[in-house]
Amino acid sequence: MQKLKLSVIPGDGIGQEVVPETLKVLDTLAEINGGVKFEYETHPWSCEYYLEHGVMMPKDGMARLHQTDAIYLGAVGNPKLVPDHVSLWGLLIKIRRECEQVINIRPAQYINGVNSPLANPNDFDFIVVRENSEGEYSEVGGRIHSGDDEIAIQNAVFTRKATERTIRYAFELAQRRSGQVTSATKSNGIVHSMPFWDQVFQEVGKDYPSIQTESNHIDALCAFFVSKPHQFDVIVASNLFGDILTDLGAAVMGSIGIAPAANININGKYPSMFEPVHGSAPDIIGRGIANPIGQLWTAKMMLDHLGLDELGSLLMKAIKETIGEGIKTRDLGGTSYTNEVIDHIITKLTAYS
């Protein structure tokens, strides 16, 4: 029996509602598989925890996370209790940094039954790989002079190491998918970092002769996400460009309530973290109407990452069929409650086995 230890952090708001429900689905999958068992170490780290303890997580918290195979997180933040910069930097960003989760990945797929804002969504299914540690979001720069002469300078930092590992990750991923990588660039306007990015993209690409490559300027790429999203497979982007593209990906899918994300530690030294794109959704807490699909799809990404791809595919099949049958929460135009969606998915999974 393979035992997998998961750090579970439900966090704030609807994270506390959807995470426990989705663990039931994970348990069902483990039962179906028969050869794997999930052990949960659940942590109450949240804004409520902060009010009681003055910190978002205890001193030995990080060490405890490091001893597990993956981190499964709900949502962090409740600005009514704790300012966002305190809760995010004290937990989410701290984990991303200290577990060296240098790459962020987010898939976007057309799912039958979800109302995409696109007139003709076709069958798009792409995944954005975002550099998650440097780039445009650097602390290098500052402000000089004042008044009419004031100048703000923001430097972007692109190291060969981080650029290369991100691009290589995208190529590796493309090898397991349909074999195409698109790079987001802007070398016609950004004259140092982006030509460098393009150069590394070409160099790494030489190691993957069977993968089809393309470079698109970020402005055109944003338009293509709307006009022809089905033409993309893996898209690799810098920190800022990836940030923009991943939100756009969630938007063309049709609902923030279904979008998943993963923060990947690529050297296997520390665990990766799996969290849905949505936040704590304070406006719908306590009503049982939170959409659990974003969290569940996140669980699917975690299963894939842990080498349990078959269980991941089974889960995705159940998710798609459930939405297709109209068992969906209000944000998707349905009337079902969180637990009804979960129960339906569990029934399906049990019937498959």
Which residue ranges make up the site for Mg ion (CB under 5 A)?
A: 279
Which of 84/310 has CB closer to Mg ion? 84
What, of ligand ATP, Mg ion, none, does residue 19 touch, CB below 5 to 8 Å by kind? none
User: What's the number of CA atoms in the CB half-sphere (13 Å) around residue 319?
Assistant: 25
Look at residue 205 and give the partner it binds from Mg ion, ligand ATP, none, a contact being a CB closer than 5 to 8 Å depending on partner kind: none
- Pairing mode, strands 151-154 and 234-237: unpaired
Rounded to the nearest 10 degrees, the angle between the axes of helix 239-253 and helix 218-227 is 10
Tokens of 302: 């975690």
Determine if 334 is a binding residue for ligand ATP (CB under 6 A).
no
Strand partners, 36: 2
Q: Which of 190, 283, 286, 184 is nearest to 236 (CA)?
A: 184
Considering Cα of 168, then 173, then 178, then 184, what sign does the dihedral take? Answer: negative
CB of 124 to ligand ATP, least distance (A): 21
**Smallest distance, Å, CB 285 to ligand ATP?**
9
Q: Would you tell me the crossing angle of helices 309-324 and 293-305 to the nearest 10 degrees? A: 160
Q: How far is the CB of 255 from ligand ATP (least distance, A)?
A: 8
Amino acid at 116: S
Beta carbon of residue 338, minimum distance to ligand ATP (angstroms, whole number): 8
Nearest to ligand ATP of 132, 280 (CB atom)? 280
Least separation in angstroms between residue 279's CB and ligand ATP is 2
DSSP state of 75: E
Nearest to 202 by CA among 179, 176, 168, 231: 168
CA distance 248 to 117: 11
**Site pattern 64..103 for ligand ATP (x: CB under 6 A):** -----------x-x--------------------------
Identity of the amino acid at 266: I
Q: What angle do CA 334, 340, 345 make, to 5 degrees?
A: 100
For residues 8 and 16, give the distance between their C-alpha atoms in angstroms, rounded to a whole number: 11
Q: Site mask, ligand ATP, residues 231-270, x = CB under 6 A?
A: -------------------------xx-------------
Please, what is the minimum distance in Å from the beta carbon of residue 307 to ligand ATP?
A: 27
Kindly write out the interface string for residues 272-311 of this chain, putting x where it contacts ligand ATP by CB under 6 A and - elsewhere: ------xxxx-xx-----xx--x-----------------
Pick 25 or 75: Cβ nearer ligand ATP? 75
Provide the binding-site residues for ligand ATP, judged by CB under 6 A. 14, 75, 77, 256-257, 278-281, 283-284, 290-291, 294, 329, 331
